């Protein structure tokens, strides 16, 4: 009897030990979702947006302008380089899900030379470290991505001995995130290419063209343009034609393991001026396409006049309607010179999103006094946006009233307002 009792206790202790072991080996929490868009990225619920001279950080708790956390820093390099240093121009930021990576252009006032500098830093702005610095001889081209343990960026170079029209060209370079010498992965682009790279760095997708520039007045078109995919290990290239002849490819992104294309499509806004004169303005809509994995043709997803914003598990957009308000003489910037300017009020009539193959559209419920909703950047579980009066205030008073806010990603309702801006 005593032996049975001992064996029973042993079995109970073994079971308790097994349960303890299982509790200690539970799956760790999933890492935060992250994504790199054009001139912005998000890591979890925090989003980082390039705003010409600095990076603005959006969080559910508020908006922070700049990444430097030192309250005594003058941002002038006197205490060492920091992410908000005045000498770092046109910054861009990406993430690999753990760190942030920072790319900026610098100018040496003594020599007149430009260079590009790449840094790494923690999401809280600390541990700001130089990865590499490259000389620039051509135009600035700030496209900047991360993938496969590399940072990928474009850079212009100027060759005065080259034939007219070919003196400036662009390359795509990459450098290990840990630092080192950049290597070229694509050369001879006639204009600054927009590109995307797969998470493993194996596939590079580039919007390419056979011309250096397109006249501003030219209608939207994909003539002379194509999307080029390169296997970065073998160098093998695949070419896909743009999905529509009357649309201009602008951005290509890698989101949730697939390439996504955004194009511009021209439309005409017609109205009658106060004088009875008929008027037309050419404006652009945006069209979103998806390239399903393993396929060779882009699939059309949606069209909107606002552009598209990628979130944690959905792609968002808005649609608007416009109404003519009137025509006023406005200063051109030259002393004493004015020019008649048409004013149009823009009202957001629908906000929508694509998620798991389904499109949902919602009529936005904006606070009183606001007509237009402009999406700024997506994140995991939240959207950041701004609301304006749609142009009516500017027409009546010369002042624009805007409020930055956060939206629920499912209902697209305003869940929090941040700073209010009048300009």
How is 237-287 classified by DSSP, letter by letter? EEEE--S-TTEEEEEEEEETTEEEEEEEEEEEEEEE-TTS-EEEEEEEEEE
Q: Phi and psi of 16, rounded to 5°?
A: -65, -40
Maximum separation of any 2 CA atoms in the chain, in Å: 110
Number of residues written out for the chain: 423
SS3 state at 19? helix
- Residue 379 structure tokens: 């994140």
Give the model's pLDDT for residue 293: 85
> Rounded to 10 degrees, what is the CA torsion of 54, 56, 57, 59?
170
> Rounded to 10 degrees, what is the CA torsion of 79, 87, 54, 422?
110
Give the model's pLDDT for residue 206: 94
Specify whether the CB–CB gap between 250 and 262 falls below 8 A: yes
- The CA distance from 358 to 36, in Å, is 23
Give the model's pLDDT for residue 217: 56
Give the model's pLDDT for residue 188: 81
Place of tokens 């608007």: 320
Give the model's pLDDT for residue 16: 52
Give the model's pLDDT for residue 28: 56
> Rounded to 10 degrees, what is the CA torsion of 314, 57, 204, 260?
20
Give the model's pLDDT for residue 284: 87
* Residue 295 DSSP symbol: -
SS3 state at 2? helix
Specify whether the CB–CB gap between 281 and 272 falls below 8 A: no
Give the model's pLDDT for residue 255: 94
- The CA distance from 251 to 184, in Å, is 21
pLDDT tens by residue, the chain, 423 residues? 555 554 555 555 555 554 454 455 555 556 668 999 888 999 999 999 998 778 999 999 999 999 988 888 888 888 788 889 888 888 899 999 999 999 988 877 777 678 889 999 998 888 999 999 988 776 666 689 999 999 999 887 777 777 776 677 888 999 999 999 999 998 887 777 899 999 999 999 999 887 655 555 566 777 778 999 999 999 999 999 999 999 999 999 999 999 999 999 988 888 888 888 998 888 889 999 999 988 899 999 999 988 899 999 999 999 998 888 889 888 888 998 999 888 888 899 999 999 999 999 999 888 888 889 999 999 999 999 999 987 777 777 778 888 999 999 999 999 999 988 877
């Amino acid at each position: 009897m005593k032996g049975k009792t001992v064996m029973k206790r042993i079995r109970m202790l073994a079971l308790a030990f097994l349960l303890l072991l299982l509790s200690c080996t539970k799956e760790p929490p999933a890492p935060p979702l992250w994504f790199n868009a054009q001139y912005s990225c998000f890591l979890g619920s925090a989003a980082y947006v390039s705003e010409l001279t600095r990076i603005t950080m959006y969080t559910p708790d508020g908006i922070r302008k700049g990444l430097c956390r030192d309250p005594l820093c003058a941002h002038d390099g006197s205490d060492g380089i920091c992410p908000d240093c005045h000498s770092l121009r046109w910054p861009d930021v990406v993430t690999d899900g753990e760190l942030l990576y920072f790319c900026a252009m610098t100018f040496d006032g003594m020599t007149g030379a430009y260079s590009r500098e790449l840094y790494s830093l923690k999401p809280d702005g600390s541990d700001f470290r130089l990865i590499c610095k490259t000389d620039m001889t051509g135009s600035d081209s700030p496209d900047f991505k991360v993938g496969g343990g590399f940072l990928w960026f474009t850079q212009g170079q100027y060759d005065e001995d080259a034939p007219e029209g070919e003196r400036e060209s662009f390359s795509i370079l990459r450098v290990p995130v840990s630092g080192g010498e950049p290597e070229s992965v694509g050369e001879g682009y006639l204009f600054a290419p927009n590109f995307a790279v797969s998470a493993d760095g194996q596939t590079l997708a580039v919007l390419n063209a056979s011309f250096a520039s397109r006249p501003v007045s030219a209608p939207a078109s994909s003539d002379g343009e194509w999307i080029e995919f390169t296997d970065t290990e073998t160098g093998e290239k695949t070419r896909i034609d743009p999905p529509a002849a009357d649309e201009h490819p602008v951005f290509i992104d890698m989101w949730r393991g697939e390439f996504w294309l955004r194009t511009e499509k021209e439309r005409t806004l017609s109205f009658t001026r106060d004088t009875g004169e008929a008027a037309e303005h050419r404006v652009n809509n945006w069209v979103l396409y998806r390239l399903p994995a393993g396929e060779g043709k882009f699939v059309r997803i949606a069209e909107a006049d606002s552009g598209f914003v990628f979130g944690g598990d959905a792609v968002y957009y808005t649609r608007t309607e416009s109404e003519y308000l009137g025509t006023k003489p406005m200063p051109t910037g030259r002393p004493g010179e004015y020019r008649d300017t048409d004013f149009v009020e823009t009202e957001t009539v629908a906000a929508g999103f694509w998620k798991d193959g389904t499109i949902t559209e919602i009529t936005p419920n904006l606070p009183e006094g606001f007509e237009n909703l402009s999406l700024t950047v997506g994140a995991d579980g939240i959207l950041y946006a701004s609301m304006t009066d749609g142009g009516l205030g500017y027409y009546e008073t010369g002042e624009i009233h805007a409020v930055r806010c956060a939206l629920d990603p499912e209902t697209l309702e305003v869940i929090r307002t941040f700073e209010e801006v009048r300009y």
